[in-house]
Amino acid sequence: MSEILDVQVNPHQALNKGEKDFNFFAGLCLPTIIRFAFPDYYIAVWLLLVNAIETGQKDKIKKLLRHVIGLPRGFAKTTFLKILIVWLIVYDKVSFVLIVCATGPLAESFLSDVHNILQSSNIERVYGRWDPAVDQVSTKRGSYHRRPLVMKAAGSGGSVRGINEENMRPDFIICDDMQTKENDNSDTERAALFDWFVGTLLKTVDQFFATVMYVGNMYSDHCILYQLKINPHWTSLITGAILEDGTSLWPQLFTIEDLYDSFLHDESLGKADIWFAEIMNDPIDSLTTLLPNPLPTDILTVIPSPDAAFVTIDPAGYRDAADDNVVAAHYIIDGKGYIAEMDGGIWNPGQTAECAIIQAVTHNATLIAVEKYVYQASLAYWINRLMHEEGITGIEAVPIARLQNKTKEQHIRAFITELYSRNYAFIRQKDRSKFVYQALAYRLGKKKNKDDWLDCPAMGLEVRNQFIHLLGVRSNVVPGSSARVRGNNTPF
């Protein structure tokens, strides 16, 4: 997305453009705050809501529209909602807005900001003057565009039963972070709030046509956001900070490197579950996760000389941006396995082969094992050929398959069992965190899971079972010797 640009238009042009262009309207509302255009997800939320409201009002349907929205922490969620409400007001889509937050003061602050935007010079110049007859902390009421307009603020669990202003009931209710994590952590408080939400708040709406928009974070699989997500009567739009294609939801705010760094920090403190709930809106469920408990955090500070070393490769091709080619170097020390190094990316076969050979030479390995499926099996041939051309000896590349008819998931879970038992471990913290991130994102029973950074280290168990006889003395492979790898010289 590009940055918001300064443009000059007359009020009539601004009114017409603002109706069709939410990003233009956002810049009109908060010209000193909005620096970047809202990304596609936000525009989709706006369009979905507006189309539903316009369709309902046009067809005079007696209906309650229910929308549940999940956005990650720190992604300008509340700012977006304030601008959205102002848009609905200035284009005459709503008449009675009820704002509900976790506490009364939070809701009143939200209301105050909406009120101030409506009274800003840009908005008044284009849409007309807003001068409420009742201007209280929790209530703004008056005439706007020759029609009544009411805005009220309330805290969760507050007194809203039978709410009625100007002979109207709310036709738009916005719940912004109505539930706190502390509330969700208490079974009693969570149940009480949910009862209030369903039995009191949802019953305050206009009896003819109204919209409820619940916006929050997925604290757990018990929280209100989750309950509404799985309810067929609610339209759900929930996203995490990292999209399925591995990109950031809003790169101008948080690059993918920023997000991954925040995960590394939280995971290193043993709080990866909180990161997934708050940033990815994906709480960890013990029934569907590969990691029901945190992995041991033992990281070697002194690395003894390994008894043997080998490299595993999980190739993924180079046209599918959803999966990485991953290479891992393994050590065997006193019978235990260690991941010495992992690297990966969207590589062509030549790059994958070179990375594997470099790791093998660097870590004094005698074996490179390549997953034996589809085209991957041929990669072992080309690695051997490349090493022969470069005069690298003492390393053998072999194809390897999972034995005993194991599925890939069973193969990965067996490796995780070894990690829990401390029979396998990661030497580098960043490799461990990469593994933990993908393991926590993995969902048992889901058809499509990313597992490249899981499958590659897990192959170490099969190497030890099938090729232990090749993991001997490595006298012909000495780091710093004449063995070398030329760039981009594989015959593909």
Over residues 353-381, the pLDDT tens digits come to 999 999 999 999 999 999 876 666 688 88
pTM for this predicted structure: 0.80
Each residue's pLDDT tens digit, 388-417 = 999 999 999 999 887 767 788 999 999 999
The answer to whether 4 touches 36, Cβ cutoff 8 Å, is yes
Alpha-carbon distance 386 to 201, whole Å?
69
pLDDT at position 236 over 70: yes
pLDDT score recorded for residue 329 = 97
pLDDT range class, residue 471, cuts 50, 70, 90: confident
Q: Which range among 40-54, 200-214, 216-230, 349-363 shows the weakest confidence by mean pLDDT? A: 200-214
Which residue(s) pair with 398 in the sheet? 369
136: left (phi over 0), alpha (psi -120 to 50) or beta: beta
Portion of the chain with pLDDT greater than 70, in percent: 89
Q: Could you tell me which residues come within 8 angstroms of residue 155 by beta carbon, excluding any fewer than 6 positions away?
A: 100, 101, 102, 103, 104, 105, 106, 107
Express the helix, strand and coil content of the chain in percent, nearest 5 each. Answer: 40, 20, 40
DSSP string, 192-225: HHHHHHHHTGGGSS-SSEEEEEEEE---STTSHH
Each residue's pLDDT tens digit, 335-355 = 899 999 999 988 888 899 999
Number of C-alpha atoms within 13 angstroms, CB side, residue 272? 25
pLDDT score recorded for residue 450 = 87
pLDDT score recorded for residue 319 = 57
**Domains observed in the chain:** 11-238 (3.40.50.300), 308-470 (3.30.420.10)
pLDDT range class, residue 492, cuts 50, 70, 90: very low
pLDDT at position 44 over 90: yes
pLDDT score recorded for residue 318 = 59
pLDDT range class, residue 240, cuts 50, 70, 90: very high
pLDDT range class, residue 76, cuts 50, 70, 90: very high
Q: Calculate the average pLDDT of the chain.
A: 87
The residue with greater pLDDT, 153 or 378, is 153
Locate the DSSP E strands across 41-165.
63-70, 96-101, 134-135, 139-144, 147-155
